[in-house]
Amino acid sequence: MVPKDQHIISVTVENRSGVLARIAGLFSARGYNIDSLAVAETEDPTVSRMSIVVRGDEKILEQIYKQLNKLIDVIKVQDLTAEDHIERELVLLKVNTSTSNARNEIVQLVNIFRAKIVDVCKKSITIELVGGKSKVDAMIDLMKSYGIKEIVRTGRIAICRENSKEK
* Domain boundary assignment for the chain: 6-82, 86-158
Query: Can you give the three-state secondary structure of 101-125, one letter per residue?
Result: HHHHHHHHHHHHCCCEEEEECCCEE
Count of CB atoms within 10 A of residue 43's CB?
Answer: 6
CA-CA distance, 15 to 48, in Å (whole number)? 5
- Give the number of residues written for the chain: 167
**Matching CATH topology for 6-82 and 86-158?**
yes
CA-CA distance, 107 to 70, in Å (whole number)? 49
The pTM of this model reads 0.82
Q: pLDDT band for position 31 (50/70/90)?
A: confident
Using only the alpha carbons of the chain, give its radius of gyration: 19
For residue 141, the SS3 value is helix
CATH of domain 86-158: 3.30.70.1150
Tell me the per-residue pLDDT of 87-98, one tens digit each, with 9 for 90 and over.
Answer: 999 999 999 998
DSSP label of 139: H
pLDDT for 4: 64
pLDDT for 167: 43
Tell me the per-residue pLDDT of 39-76, one tens digit each, with 9 for 90 and over.
Answer: 999 999 999 999 999 998 888 889 999 999 999 999 99
* Third-level CATH fold of 6-82: Alpha-Beta Plaits (3.30.70)
Q: pLDDT band for position 165 (50/70/90)?
A: very low
DSSP secondary structure, 22-82, as one string: HHHHHHHHTTPPEEEEEEEE-SSTTEEEEEEEEE--HHHHHHHHHHHHHSTTEEEEEEGGG
CA-CA distance, 13 to 16, in Å (whole number)? 8
